[in-house]
Amino acid sequence: MRKTWVKRDNIYYKPFYKQKLKLTLIGVIAMGILFFVYQLVYISQLLPLESMPAGPKTRPHKADSNDNPITLVELAGRKDADHHGERANHRKPNHEQGSSSTVRAEPNGGKSSAWNNTQFAYIEKIGNYERKILRGIRLLDLDHYSEKPGTVKFRCLSSHKEIPWEWVNDDYCDCPEDGSDEPSTSACPQGRFYCRYQKRHKTGRGKDVFVSSGRVNDGVCDCCDGSDEWLTTRIGSGRPACPNVCKTNYVL
C-alpha cells in the first residue's frame, strides 16, 4: 500500500493566533493605517489657523491702560490723499472720528514698529547668529513674520489679506479670522498667543502650545515659561510675575 504524506495543518485545526503569516500581514496593515492617521493629524497642524472662540479670561481692551505698550502719535506727513484716507479709516474702535491724534504714526523708512518696539520682540540665538522674533508667533510661521527687502505688505495667515507692516502689533485687529496681525496683543478675540517654550520631539513634531490672546498680560500664568506675562511684574520686587517652570530648555 502506497503511503501518502498529508500536511499536519490539514489534519489538525490550527488556531488563528498561531497562523503567523496572517498575523504578520494584519499587523503590517494596521501599522500602515496608524502611520497615515498620524501623518494626517500632523499635517492638519500645519494648515492655517482656524477660528477659535475667545476664552473665559478674555478682557476688554483698555485704551488708557498703563500696561498698554502702544503709544499713538500724530501722523507727521501724508504722501497723498488716498494714502491718508486709508490711514484715517484705520482707527481703534474706541477713538473719536474727529480727533487727528488717533491716526497711526508711520515709522521712518517704512519699517514696521513691531520690530522697533522691544516689548513686542525678543532676541533668540539661532546657531552662530542672533535673530529678533515677535512674541506670540508660531515658530513654524517665522518666515511669514520676517520682513524681507522689497516687501511692503503683511499677509494674514488665513484670509491672505494684505496690510502694511506697520499695522502688525498696533493693537487693532486687521485679521479678524485668526488674529495673525496681532500676535503680541489682545486686540483680536480669535487670536492665539503661542508660548515661547514649545515641547518638541527630536524630529520636530509635537503639538503647539498656545493660549487665547485675551489672556496676554492679564496677571495669570498660562505658559510654563511665563512668556505670556512679559509686561507684568511682582508687586514690590520688580521681577517677572511668572517664573519659568518648564522642565527643559527651549526647542527651536
pLDDT of residue 47: 61
- H or E stretch covering 134: strand 129-134
How does pLDDT run across 168-190, given as a tens digit for each residue? 888 899 999 989 999 888 889 88
127 or 10, which is more confident:
127
- CA proximity to 179, closest of 164, 193, 165, 163: 193
Domain ranges of the chain: 8-75+82-91+98-229
* pLDDT tens sequence across 187-205: 898 899 998 887 776 666 7
pTM score of the predicted model: 0.53
How many angstroms separate the most distant Cα atoms in the chain? 115
